[in-house]
Amino acid sequence: MASEKICSILLFSAVILLLHGAPSVLAGDIVHDDDSTPKKPGCANQFVLVKVQTWVNGVEDAEFVGVGARFGRAIVSKEKNAKHTRLILSDPRDCCSPPKNKIVGDVIMVDRGNCTFTRKANTAQNANASAILIINNQKELYKMVCDPDETDLNIHIPAVMLPLDAGARLEKMLTSTSSVSVQLYSPRRPPVDVAEVFLWMMAVLTILCASYWSAWTAREAAIEQDKLLKDASDEIPNTKYSSVSGVVNMNVKAAVLFVVFASCFLFMLYKLMSSWFIDVLVVLFCIGGIEGLQTCLVALLSRWFKHAGEAYIKVPFLGSISYLTLAVSPFCTTFAVLWAVYRNNSFAWICQDILGIALIITVLQIVHVPNLKVGTVLLGCAFIYDIFWVFVSKKFFKESVMIVVARGDRSGEDGIPMLLKFPRIFDPWGGYSIIGFGDILLPGMLVAFSLRYDWLANKSLRGGYFLWAMLAYGFGLLVTYVALNLMDGHGQPALLYIVPFTLGTLMTLGQKRGDLKGLWRNGEPQKHCPHLRLENSGELSPE
């Protein structure tokens, strides 16, 4: 049963690592400046989301969200500066020719198609419209740009694209009531949101808890090995004193293969992204979350219910299970299933974060980086992986593959579930700040390794490596958030900043203290067996 559990955790941890590059924080749904679209005088606006508030017969009604065009007048950012303006339907609907109905400073609603966006805007402007709402022929928003050869770009009215469902509802309002008015404005996001602070704390505390659990287990195993070595008389155990039952030590080959598989799997997700694929990931997340939550609860409760944790019962198809595991399993399963059923509700992020944190802690307890060499290869490959799929992939696929997958842009869903998320509290657009599991798990392996080394080497907090590795991780993640805001909300791969800080700190300190060789190769302090002594001849013999 234990081996099956380890296999299931390792399988899901592989999926986490494959998806680790989800940008640390995506700025919700807002559309920002996109350098891949043409810019020219009169067509150089940034893409911004626009709130379209409606009033029906003077009574406030639904609010819709559109995206401003590259051309036209900039939309006001403050609601108090936005005027209530009457909304009318264009006749003809495509607005490719002058409207037949009289327009006096009204907002005109038109359908997409039959001519360019700029021609529609010019036609509406010449007909005395104060703004133009263009209804997309799909449910998604679309960035309205200018053709490279366009010259008639003297457009002084705002142009906004709305999705198909919003257009259908507005049309129903217009045909069934006597008066519909709208207010267009694009509120700005605050530079920093509390969500980013909470995500930072969640990531740091998760690594902190996982590191102490991992180090505690390793020290207990080392103490047991010491007892065996002291009591042994005829034979010497052939295992390292620091080995722990149920722990898998990663090697260099596995670290490289993780990244190779990651690229293949990410590309497959990019090509096959759909709602059913997201459902598969949800199922995988539930399985991993159940295992993680169960492992954490059993480890915690066994301190108080030791007998239940050590007494086992045979269960068909599952083998021997402790009574404590049997008791908590229904709760963990129910918790994960309820999250899966209600994952689109506003409160579901809490359950997702609990399952995710439990899973990350469990993986960090089971999968160990045995030395600095393996940690460097793993994080170095992940560093290159992040940069390629977030930034370089734009040159090959015209969009960031990592960001498309993380957001689930082609799935009709909210994105992959392998993320910690927190609602943006002071953001007028709402949405979530997110961080990928791997941005916690991968550097967390190195940080946990540093604490295991410190405890086994009996190093003090200041004289060891854990404190400085923890500070380096926290500072690297902080720099990620700063970069996110400086980059105007574009998704940033956290490992781009975290890896240099964590690896650089450990290597610099190790070199300065003379421990680098031991950290790099052995990953544990040298310890001589009490039953062996070094003879003058240089041979080892029993005492």
Annotated catalytic residues are 386, 439
The total of other beta-carbon atoms located within 10 Å of residue 27's CB is 24
Residue 424: beta bridge partners?
A: none
Extract long-range pairs of 1-9: CB within 8 Å, 24+ residues apart: 1/318, 1/319, 1/320, 1/321, 2/246, 4/319, 5/291, 5/295, 6/246, 6/248, 6/366, 8/287, 8/288, 8/291, 9/288, 9/291, 9/292, 9/295, 9/362, 9/363, 9/366
* C-alpha distances out from residue 531 to 222, 238, 407, 474, 536, Å: 16, 13, 59, 44, 16
Helix (H, G, I), strand (E, B) or coil at 62: strand
Please provide the DSSP assignment of 379-406 as one string: HHHHHHHHHIIIIIHHHHHSS-HHHHHH
Q: Give the Cα separation of 257 and 246 in Å (integer).
A: 22
The total of other beta-carbon atoms located within 10 Å of residue 213's CB is 19
Q: Tokens 């694929």, residue? A: 277
Q: Which stretches within 108-251 are classed as H helix? A: 117-126, 164-176, 194-231
Q: Give the Cα separation of 454 and 461 in Å (integer).
A: 8
Kindly provide the b/e burial profile for residues 263-296, where b requires at least 16 CB atoms within 10 angstroms of the residue's own CB.
bebbeebbeebeeebbeebbebbbbbbbbbbbbb
Contacts of 235 (CB under 8 A, 6+ apart): none
DSSP state of 425: S
Angle between helices 348-366 and 2-18 (to 10 degrees): 110
Main-chain dihedrals φ then ψ at residue 521, nearest 5 degrees = -95, -55
Paired sense of beta strands 180-185 and 85-89, if any? antiparallel
Bond preceding residue 148 cis, omega within 30 of 0: no
Q: Give the Cα separation of 62 and 444 in Å (integer).
A: 45
* C-alpha distances out from residue 393 to 23, 256, 270, 387, Å: 14, 20, 11, 9
